[in-house]
Amino acid sequence: MDGHVVVALGPVDPDTVGDVLGDRVTFVTHPTPDDLAVAEGAIVRADRHVDEDFLARAPRLRVIARTGVGVDLVDVAAATARGIPVVITPQSGSRAVAEGVLAMTLHLTKRLRQLTDLVRENRWAERNTVPVGDLDGATMGIVGYGRIGRRVGELASAFGMRTLAYDPYSPPPPEVACADLGELAEVSDVLTLHVPLTERTHHLVGEDLLSRVKPGTVLVNCGRGGLLDPDATLIALELGRLAGVGLDVFDPEPAVHHPLFDHPDVVLTPHLMGMTSRAMTLTFVDAARGVADVLAGRPPAAVANPDWNHRKATA
C-alpha cells in the first residue's frame, strides 16, 4: 500500500486509524482539493455527504468506509457504478445502541425525571403520585430483528422481559416472531424501532399504529428519525396511549424543535447512543480495516453494495 492517500470526511481519530492503516499510508484529516484528487480511500462520518460531485473530485478513489451502517447520505449507486465498495461497520456500535435503548426504557419506566424533581423541589410527600413501572414480566416489542434488535432482546431478557419481534424484511425466529406489526403493538409494553428507513418504513409509527398500542406503552427510537410521525406521537402521549418516548434520532438532523420535545415524558439524545468512547474506537478501527483490506486486494468484511466488484468502474 506504499504511497496510498486516505482522507477523512468529518472528525476521525488519526491515531486510532493510523495503527490499522499502517506507516505506508498517508492519512489526511482535513483534505484539500489536491488531497482528494489523489485519495484512494475515504473514511466518512455519518453526517457527511458522498455524492456525484465528491466522486468526481476524487477520481482515484477505490474505497469508501462509512462509520456506522446508515448510508442515507452516500450515493451508493454512483459508487457502485465506479466499482467502489461502500464499507460499513455493523458490529462496532450495535451493543452500545442496544444499551441506549435499555437506558431510555429504564429512565421512562422508572420515571427518573419526575422523581428527581420531587427530591430537588422538596416534594417528598408526593412520591406516591408518580407511577413507577417494572421491566420484569413486561414485553419488549422489537421492530427490526437485526444485530441491534437481537442484542436488545438479549438485554431485555436479563431484566426478566418477554421478547417479541417483527421484521418486514427478515422474519425473526418462530419463538419470538410476531407476524403483524399491529399485533406487536397491541401486546408490547415497550416498542423499540430498528428497521432501516425506506419508502416502506417512513412514518411506520403513525396514527394507525399508535391507535393500536397498549395504553401506557413506552416507545423508543434509536433507529432512524423518519420511522415515526412526531405529530401522531405527541397526540398519543397526550391521550395516554404512550407513557413515554425516547428519541436518539430525528428527521432532519440536527433536530428541528418540535412540541414533542417539550413533553415531560420524553427523553432526548442527539444521535449518539452508538457513539460511546468504546464504540467509536471500534467503528474507526473497523472502517480503517475495511479501507486497508480493499487497498491490499482483500474483500472487506461488510459492504452496503455487495455487487460492487461485479461492476466495471467508470471514469
Task: List 192's β-bridge partners, or say none.
Answer: 142, 220
Q: What is the CATH number of the domain that holds 39?
A: 3.40.50.720
Is the Cα dihedral 79, 169, 246, 159 positive or negative? negative
- In terms of domains, do 264 and 160 share one? yes
- Residue pair 217/243 in contact (Cβ under 8 Å)? The answer is yes
Please indicate, yes or no, if residue 103 is contained in any of the structural domains.
Answer: yes
Instruction: Tell me the per-residue pLDDT of 168-204, one tens digit each, with 9 for 90 and over.
Output: 999 999 999 998 999 999 999 999 999 999 999 999 9
Half-sphere exposure of 293 (CA within 13 A, CB side): 19
Distance between CA 286 and CA 271 in Å, rounded?
20
- In terms of domains, do 191 and 306 share one? no
Residues with a known catalytic role:
224, 253, 271
Residue 78: which domain range? Answer: 5-92+277-310
- In terms of domains, do 136 and 198 share one? yes
- Report pTM: 0.86
- In terms of domains, do 162 and 71 share one? no
Closest CA to 219 of 231, 208, 205, 207: 205
- In terms of domains, do 298 and 256 share one? no
- In terms of domains, do 88 and 103 share one? no
Please indicate, yes or no, if residue 159 is contained in any of the structural domains.
Answer: yes
Q: How many domains does the chain have?
A: 2
Distance between CA 282 and CA 276 in Å, rounded?
10
Please indicate, yes or no, if residue 299 is contained in any of the structural domains.
Answer: yes
Taking only Cα atoms into account, the Rg of the chain, rounded to an integer number of angstroms, comes to 22
- In terms of domains, do 21 and 162 share one? no
Instruction: Tell me the per-residue pLDDT of 200-256, one tens digit each, with 9 for 90 and over.
Output: 999 999 999 999 999 999 999 999 999 999 999 999 999 999 999 999 999 999 999
- In terms of domains, do 130 and 209 share one? yes
Closest CA to 51 of 28, 82, 73: 73
- In terms of domains, do 87 and 101 share one? no
Identity of the amino acid at 135: L
- In terms of domains, do 168 and 58 share one? no
Please indicate, yes or no, if residue 315 is contained in any of the structural domains.
Answer: no
- In terms of domains, do 21 and 114 share one? no
